[in-house]
Amino acid sequence: MTSPAPRIGIVSLGCPKALVDSERIITRLRAEGYELSPDYAGADMVIVNTCGFLDSARAESLAAIGEALRENGKVIVTGCMGVDDAEIRARYPNVLAVTGPQKFADVMKAVHAAAPAPHDYKRDLVPPAGLHLTPAHYAYLKISEGCSNTCTFCIIPRLRGPLVSRPAADVLAEAEQLAAAGVRELLIISQDTCAYGRDIRYRASQWRGKDVRAHITDLSRALGELGIWVRLHYLYPYPHVDELVELMAEGLILPYLDLPLQHAAHGVLRAMKRPADDERMLRRIEKWRAICPDLAIRSTFITGFPGETEEDFEHLLEWLKAARLERVGCFAYEDVSTAPANELPGALPMEVRRQRRDELMRRQAEISASILERKVGMRTQVLVDEIDDDQQLVIARTRWDAPQVDGEVWIARDMAPEAAPGDLLDVRITGARTYDLEAEPASAE
């Protein structure tokens, strides 16, 4: 008689990059014959993949470790917060192991020590495309680890180290496997997607019998050959974004620029150690829209950075009004322990940081509503994400919207009764809210 395989639970916190790390861990666990448990009660142990970016995320990670210890008792900690081993152990001396981000071998070592891998499984437990925590029709694909920039508010380079890029052929092979497994949309992620390949001097590797350079333009062009949606995230405003916009105009990748700009006032951008020419950025946006009129730009901003004056904030609001970005997210500046920005003079009260964030989002809501209003009557293609049985809605997304962070398209269920997640539907936009759209199948016209 064989003993049942140990069951492992996983709690995944943080951004899509951390989610991909969790996917790698569960893929290795299944490949070795472990079972996965969806709850604490059924698990022999729990892995908590933490986020350590902001102090609020660290607090959430500590709370999650505490909950896993309470509910299960056997806990392995990994992820960004794992670099602060001492802080975690001071609070929770009973955790089985603490490892940092991307330390997959160390996680597996800790799992083996607590529950040896089963030796008697005979099935191939892992599909070629690996295991994913996202719905089957989209997947995050990480092209590099780490970051070599020095933005003063950010501790990612300390947590995850400098840029380390994957060879283009590796990325493309994984993308092909995902497409073959039925993925309709690839979300390309890294800390700084434009920097891809710089650390390996853009070295070429062989894919489909030809050389592909490890450069984001060449990689994107090759990904465009797969015939599925390809969406680029976390682009830093390097000059070669212009080349990517040309690929978007050609229809090879989605016309979606996720470009976290953080601010528009020179002084604040300089203090952040970010590119600081807001006028030039406006001209570039104008140029990109001329090249690719269908383009949607998403950006994120920080309000209340140390030293941000009332004029700086007003300047940011005016800049946003001129730029008319389709999608905007905003964070009130948070002190992140060990971030260089903490040492800067001019710290603002949290209340002011949050008021400015709320004001920015209020202004952006008006911009978003007026942009979406203009889409009413337009025909477009959407990707179905889910069926909401309670509200009798098909929830879908346009090519201008990324999952989780952007808007949705709502279609009455009875107008598309056959629709299922992963379907591409041709629709006509019939209504617009602040961030979301309503639509009906184009065939209903």
Burial of 272 (0-12, 13-18, 19+ CB in 10 A): buried
Considering only 236, 256, 301, 333, the residue that binds ligand SF4 (CB under 6 A) is 236
Tokens of 101: 């981000």
Quote the DSSP letter at residue 6. Answer: P
Comparison of 17 and 397: residue with beta carbon closer to ligand SF4: 17
Closest approach of Cβ 234 to ligand SF4, in Å? 7
Position 235 contacts ligand SF4 (CB under 6 A): no
Task: Rule CB under 6 A: say whether 156 interacts with ligand SF4.
Answer: yes
Task: Please select the residue that binds ligand SF4; options are 151, 186, 241, 332, rule is CB under 6 A.
Answer: 151
Name the H helices within 51-144: 55-71, 85-91, 104-114
Check binding of 165 to ligand SF4 (CB under 6 A): no
End-to-end CA distance of the chain: 63
Residues numbered 37-56 forming contacts with ligand SF4, rule: CB under 6 A = none
- Near ligand SF4 by CB under 6 A: residue from 81, 143, 147, 245: 147
Strand 210-213 versus strand 204-207 pairing type:
antiparallel
Q: Any contact of residue 191 with ligand SF4 (CB under 6 A)? A: yes
Contacting residues for 338 by C-beta, under 8 A, at least 6 apart: 155, 158
Figure out which of the listed residues 154, 247, 320, 382 binds ligand SF4, where binding follows CB under 6 A.
154
Instruction: Tell me which of 32, 192, 385, 406 binds ligand SF4, using CB under 6 A.
Output: 192
CA 44 to chain centroid = 30
Of 12 and 193, which has the nearer Cβ to ligand SF4? 193
Instruction: In angstroms, give the least distance from the CB of 323 to ligand SF4.
Output: 20
Closer Cβ to ligand SF4, 46 or 151, answer by number:
151
| Span interacting with ligand SF4, options 41-49, 109-117, 149-157, 166-174, rule CB under 6 A | 149-157
CB-CB contact of 268 with 295 (8 Å): no
**CA–CA separation, 149 vs 105, rounded Å?**
27
| Residue pair 98/69 in contact by the 8 Å Cβ criterion | no
d(Cα 23, Cα 19) in Å, to the nearest integer? 6
- CA of residue 428 relative to chain centroid, distance: 28
Residue 76 or 194 having the CB closest to ligand SF4: 194
Q: In the complex, what is the shortest distance from the CB of residue 147 to ligand SF4, in angstroms, rounded to a whole number?
A: 3
Query: Applying CB under 6 A, does 88 fall inside the site for ligand SF4?
Result: no
For residues 186 and 229, the answer to whether their CB atoms sit within 8 Å is: yes
Q: Which of 66, 109, 149, 413 binds ligand SF4 (CB under 6 A)?
A: 149
Query: By the criterion CB under 6 A, which residues form the site for ligand SF4?
Result: 147, 149, 151, 154, 156-157, 191-192, 236
